[in-house]
Structure 1
Amino acid sequence: MKRILVVEDDVMLNSGLCYNLELDAYKAVPAHDAAAALEKIRDKTFDLVIMDVNLPDGDGFELCKKISAARDIPIIFLTARDLEADVVKGFDLGADDYITKPFNINIFRKKVAAVLKRSGEPASQKL
């Protein structure tokens, strides 16, 4: 079962994301701030991190740098920060996708599945 860390300070949104991810047979683990996310990453292995940029104790971009320096984990930003500069910064930091709020939950679920599929399978030799 794929494990996904959901870093979102809005408790209701975090809960809803985890619920929807579990509908797709993933193990969703909530974290409500950067410190909790780093602690969980130190203690457990994750197949994907979904994170907000605006966190109560820090910046999701900085958290992305810390996670990427320690582990090779795909990252999807899920945030209200929709300026072009923010989206570009997210990808420059290594994000695998950048989803802006508001968002469609069904499209979100498909994007999660696509990132996990790409990260979990070796590249095909067929062209």
Structure 2
Amino acid sequence: MTNILIIEDDRLLNRGIKYVLMKDKYNVISSYSYDEGYNEFLNNNIDLILLDIKLMHKSGLKLCGEIRKTSEVPIIFITANDTDQDMIEGFKKGCDDYIAKPFSMEILRQRIKAVLKRTNIQDKNIFKYKDITIDYNMMTLKKGEKIIKLTTTEYKIIELLTKNKNQVMPRKIILEKLWDANGNFVDENALSVNIRRLRQKIEDNPKKPKYIITIFGTGYTWGEI
């Protein structure tokens, strides 16, 4: 299910948008301030953001810039004005589209569909989770804007876990998948070593991992189940 985050301090408008989008079978998270919205973005796997350009107390433009430091998630600005300057500033900060108040909910629905379609075509082989981005075509992993160098075995483990997100991958299955055409394999000890090295490379605190989670007695999973 597609996750949409609304960051809009007008509670009536926020709830109205949420109601319409939930009828379209989107999973919708509402937030009403800069800090609340940014926290929801950090703690959820968001597919699209609707962001009020002029939030109370803090600027939506500033929040867009902060999000763009670590993510290319599609952002549609909600603005009270459709002036050229507003549009220019929004696109400079990295928004994908904008809609001016007052607007038709049907037009908003169609703009969301268009942005999601466009970005899904571009990103169908891209995995994003919090500040981690994996390009399966290029076999690369980025944490924020930094490319993390991985060994072939480390990449295979990451690919296996992320392509099976929300599932527990037993150690036995992971070991079987790490066999290659030349008969090379990874044993139990080597798997543990590779997991430890991966955590050192991508976790903020390897002792309290939030990406590669151990399911004791079974195996590993990516993120929270």
Structure 2 residue 57 is matched with structure 1 residue 57: yes
Q: 1:88: how far off?
A: 1.1
Structure 2 residue 111 is matched with structure 1 residue 111: yes
Q: Aligned partners of 1:74, 1:33: CA distance in 2, in Å?
A: 19
Counterpart in 1 of 2:94?
94
Counterpart in 1 of 2:72?
72
Decide which structure has greater helix share. 1
Q: Aligned partners of 2:122, 2:108: CA distance in 1, in Å?
A: 23
Q: 1:81: how far off?
A: 2.7
Structure 1 regions of 5+ residues with no counterpart?
A: none
Single out whichever of 30-39 and 74-83 deviates more from structure 2.
Answer: 74-83
Q: 1:119: how far off?
A: 1.1
Q: 1:53: how far off?
A: 1.0
Cα offsets for 1:43-69 (capped at 9, x unmatched)? 111000001011123001000000111
Q: Aligned partners of 2:97, 2:79: CA distance in 1, in Å?
A: 11
Q: Secondary structure at the match of 2:86?
A: helix
* Runs of 4+ more than 4 Å apart: none
Larger Rg belongs to? 2
How many residues end up aligned between the 2 structures? 123
Structure 2 regions of 5+ residues with no counterpart?
A: 124-225
Q: Aligned partners of 1:69, 1:50: CA distance in 2, in Å?
A: 18
Q: Aligned partners of 2:65, 2:73: CA distance in 1, in Å?
A: 11
Q: Aligned letter for 1:97?
A: D
Task: Give the fraction of aligned pairs with identical amino acids, expressed as a percent.
Answer: 37
Q: Secondary structure at the match of 2:38?
A: helix
Cα offsets for 1:51-98 (capped at 9, x unmatched)? 101112300100000011121200000110322111111112111101
* Equivalent residues of 1:35, 1:57 under 8 A apart: no
Identify the structure with bigger relative contact order (alpha carbons < 8 Å, sequence gap 6+). Answer: 1
Q: Aligned partners of 1:65, 1:28: CA distance in 2, in Å?
A: 22
* Equivalent residues of 1:53, 1:81 under 8 A apart: no
Q: Aligned partners of 1:38, 1:101: CA distance in 2, in Å?
A: 23
Q: Aligned partners of 2:92, 2:56: CA distance in 1, in Å?
A: 23
Cα offsets for 1:26-46 (capped at 9, x unmatched)? 111001001001111111110
Counterpart in 1 of 2:19?
19
Return closer, same or farther for 1:89/1:26 CA change in 2, 3 Å cut-off: same
Q: Aligned partners of 2:70, 2:119: CA distance in 1, in Å?
A: 17
